[in-house]
Structure 1
Amino acid sequence: MRKIETSKPFAFFLELLLVIFFFAISATIILQVYASAIQKNQFDHDRRKAMLFAQNVIEGNQDLNTIQKEYDQNFEDEGDYFQVEIVESNEDFPHYTLCIWQDEQLLVEYSLYTGEDYE
């Protein structure tokens, strides 16, 4: 068998290319993970704001009409805009759903009951 001889500069160049390729792939993967983490952090931050707002509305024990007049539009918190929507879930029992959206993405969905007694 004939042995293929390679020159040392070519072997060094090939090894250098493999190292650069490995680090390029590693950097790409790390950037994707970092971008995903930032996106999830922002979503959780917005969801936390929406949850606090929804809990304040629900625990305020206000009349449903007052809640709908005040909050059935949009609200702004630290420059972020949220859309509030109150939807009637059941006509027989006074059950509503309080939904908070941001940029067409549902952040929070809570059940909302009126304070009237039914027997």
Structure 2
Amino acid sequence: MVERLFTYGSLMPGGQYAHLLAAAGDNWQPATVTGFIDANGWGHSVGFPALVLHASGAPIAGMVLTSATLRSLWPQLDAFEGEAYERIATEVTVATGERVTAYIYSLHHSLHCDSVAHN
């Protein structure tokens, strides 16, 4: 089964932790999701923002990786992201305008700052 991962930070090609996705191949394409960047992410202070999906947010640019290998990488990626993030399925818009389903690591819902949680 082919799966997708939307990345917006350190896991993107050229990012500090891109090597964690090396086994999944190089089928990347530009994409966007709608949401906010939240200052509560574990890595925000060192340049790793946390994304919160929200319909009233702004488009957030990233990349989508499509790979059958992702299924075997989920346990490693889940451990890397830790408890502050949750892997959820969402719709993303790729560069062609097509909407596809992809997983994304979003700031855990219990950690959203008030300005995001109440929008």
TM range, normalised to the smaller chain? under 0.3
Which is bigger in relative contact order (C-alpha 8 A, separation at least 6)? 2
Q: Could you state the TM-score of these two structures normalised by the residue count of structure 1?
A: 0.26
Q: Could you state the TM-score of these two structures normalised by the residue count of structure 2?
A: 0.26
Going by fraction, where is helix more abundant, 1 or 2? 1
